[in-house]
Structure 1
Amino acid sequence: MEIKQADDEVYTDMDSIAEELPDHTPRFIVLSYPLTLPSGRLSVPYVLLSYIPSTCNSESRMLYASAKELMRNTAEVGRIIEIDSAEELSEIEEKLKGED
């Protein structure tokens, strides 16, 4: 397995990211997402999204699961959020605010 940057594209909304996610192949997404916390404070968390769709094969699942901590350390993210469908991207803001 090789981990590499897909492109230099910068996405400005979750819908654009969701459209790019393949149906049967896992992906890691490093996300910097500005949001306003309930206290009114601005936060820009740096997180890793681990996208492993339920339709991908067992070998891919195992490879991505074993590489998750390597990606976390390499990207120096503070948190990993696991998703298994592109639709879950609409819930990321709530998860980042701590409303898992």
Structure 2
Amino acid sequence: MSDSRLYSFSPETKEKLRKFRLDMIDAKSQEIRPCDDEVYSKMEDLADELPDSSPRFILLSHPLTMSSGRLAVPYVLLYYLPENCNPSQRMMYAGAVELMRNNAEVNRVIEVESETDVIEIEKKLQGA
């Protein structure tokens, strides 16, 4: 069975994909959807909202200055997978990563395990 049959995106979710926010998989409907209507502008604020034991998808479009001095605005998918999440949630999110990547049209997926990883993502992106 393909990923597209397991999980779905509502038209409303597809319209919101280019915003900096948290996405989750609804376990009952298997729909990938925003956690709320919040759009974040600071990594610290986003990190504060991350659950301690549940995975999340984070779409990130964040302007930064590269070491060469060039301005860049990478559009990436952060795959938040905390160490202590349960195996069924790990499997559910692992099965949807490629679908999320394709629907969001990001080029890069970065796995993060902690709030600190999220706050420090700019350093990782600058080194890319």
**TM-score of the pair, normalised by structure 2:** 0.73
Post-superposition, which runs of at least 4 consecutive aligned residues in structure 1 deviate over 3 A?
none
Deviation at 1:2, TM superposition (A): 2.2
Work out the CA distance in 1 between the residues paired with 2:73 and 2:95: 27
Work out the CA distance in 2 between the residues paired with 1:64 and 1:53: 12
Q: Any stretches of 5+ residues in structure 2 without a counterpart?
A: 1-29
Deviation at 1:78, TM superposition (A): 1.2
Tell which deviates more after alignment, 90-99 or 22-31.
Answer: 90-99
| Aligned residue in 1 for 2:8 | none
Q: Any stretches of 5+ residues in structure 1 without a counterpart?
A: none
1:12 has 2:41 as partner: yes
- Which one of the candidate residues 42, 56, 62 is aligned to 2:91? 62
Work out the CA distance in 2 between the residues paired with 1:66 and 1:98: 28
C-alpha RMSD of the superposition:
1.1
Work out the CA distance in 2 between the residues paired with 1:2 and 1:60: 14
Deviation at 1:47, TM superposition (A): 0.4
Work out the CA distance in 2 between the residues paired with 1:86 and 1:38: 24
Larger Rg: 2
Q: What code does the residue aligned with 2:62 have?
A: Y
Give % identity: 60
Work out the CA distance in 2 between the residues paired with 1:29 and 1:90: 12
Work out the CA distance in 2 between the residues paired with 1:94 and 1:85: 15
Aligned length: 99
Greater length-normalized contact order (CA 8 Å, ≥ 6 residues apart): 1
